[in-house]
Amino acid sequence: METPNTYGHVNGLALYQRPSPDFKPFEEVRARFGAMVGHIDPLRRRVAEVPFGLDHPYWFDDPEFDLDYHVREIGLAPPGNSEQLGEQVARIIGRPMDRRHPLWEVYVIEGLDDGHWALLTKFHHATIDGAAGVIMLRMMTDLAPDAEFPFVEVPWQGEHVPSDTELLQQTVRHLVANPVKATRLSLRMVRNLADAAGITSLSGAASRARDVIAGAAGRSEESAQLSEQLRKVSMPLTPAPPTPWNKAVGPHRRFAMRSVPLDDIKILKNATGGTVNDVVMAICAGALRAYLLGHDALPDAPLRSMVPVSVRTGLEEDPWTNLVSSLVAELPTDCDDPLERVARCRDAMQVAKQQLDLVPADAIMRATEVTSPIVATAAIRLQARLADRFNLPVNVVISNVPGPREPLYLAGAKLDAYVPVSTISNGVGLNITVHSYEDRLDFGLVADRDLVPDLWDLVDLHIAEIDTLFEATGAQRPGSDAASRRRSAAKQPSAEKSARKKSARKSTAKKTAAKKSAARKTTAKKTAAKKSGVTKRRAAS
């Protein structure tokens, strides 16, 4: 699915305290990854691509593995603030990965202004997904600052690099088996669709289908209710409304981040009767609404979000796989009431979750095993070329990844925050990912560099939307009394008001600049005319 402008890697930015002045982060990180290589498959396996794209690639252990290629160290120029860190992260994630090596890189980043150091991990999504990334984070860290790291270096042997002939022979064996797999998969999907609709047999499916048709003619109330249920949970196929970031993406990225106390979100969850995820979705909806209002680009229809969903059971033999599906949910950006937005997000997520009942996620993933890579690649290339002409069914990707609740340490250095850094694709140039760790929630926004040039403003609108929800619910934040909260609410404008004021300031600034420019031009013309007159008089004399 990768193109020259879209990349398949997912990333994470960990911020650590420095336990002592003489602590050397790079040496500790290099030692830990060196010890884990022999234990964790994704760290040493490399991809072998089949000639002509006739089959999916295969993994093999890299016989030329080079740890120094994968573990790198960089430093920020003074002062080393969060904006500089975000810029450096954006540059790193805006580069494709070299498939001649195992598909991962880590960067130890020094020079942060608050004394912290950062660790940026970059793994290809074909290697691990977000949930597997959390597993790896837990394996790389300790539960106590003085804990002994459990991994020690073990000898391992790289594998023979497969030749094109060997890969083609394996492809032939795989293609011979594909028709059987495809048939079994099709039958299973039909059965699951029938079960989701309450149908117990294929003959019952045919009978029930006739009832639905009859119900459409007004002859069956039961079948009409079934038809309405299926209509509500059908997968969206129509284009989503246009936004500034729903276009073809370029090769460069922006990254912005902010953090909030997790307790704030839990208080809002209780105050609104929703879940943490409902509140997160409502925060995103309110922030996107305010941003689009500020840019005079808010569609009348609600936006649509793609929400990745982990389908792990915990019983997988190999945890280092990509076990993620997705659902599509409406974002009530057309609604100006923050509390109603939470309620609508809750309803939208309930409807969207039923999509997974209609077509089970594992069936979709198995379908990729029997899909021709040539056809899939051609489809992706076509979609990339048409991204500026046709909108996809979704506007934005929003993901909420639960992380560890206990504090974690790396060689005595306490992990203070883990900020998600995800990926974007053609037609969907904005990704909002939220990750919880200990007692905080971190927002990580990634966007195309040109489509969303003011990404830090957008992430700030998410924080402002939290203030808006506290004001709307009347809920009290920890450590503040009602009076101070009311004073804070009175001083803090809502995200939507902030966006409108910002838009008004931009408009005023443009008008002022235009007036000044016109005045300068008029003055210049008068001065030029005077000089011309003097010159003519002198020439005449």
Write the DSSP string, 63-90: TT--HHHHEEEEEPPTT--HHHHHHHHH
Chain center to CA of 1: 16
CA distance 287 to 494: 10
CA distance 311 to 326: 9
**In the numeric block, which tokens belong to residue 151?**
């991994």
Q: Considering only CA atoms, which of 401, 390, 468 is closest in space to residue 432?
A: 401
Cβ-defined contacts of 80-86 (< 8 Å, 24+): 80/111, 80/112, 80/113, 81/113, 82/257, 83/456, 85/13, 85/109, 85/112, 85/118, 86/254, 86/255, 86/256, 86/257, 86/456
Write the DSSP string, 491-523: HS--HHHHHHHHHHHHHHHHHHHHHHHHHHHHH
Please indicate whether residue 125 is annotated as part of the active site.
Answer: yes
Catalytic pick from 125, 160, 252, 295?
125
Q: Do the Cβ atoms of 359 and 186 come closer than 8 Å?
A: no
| Count of CB atoms situated within 10 Å of the CB of 164 | 12
3-state secondary structure of 91: helix
Write the DSSP string, 436-458: EETTEEEEEEEEETTT-TTHHHH
Q: Considering only CA atoms, which of 11, 28, 40 is closest in space to residue 142?
A: 28
Identity of residue 386: L
* Catalytic sites, residue numbers: 125
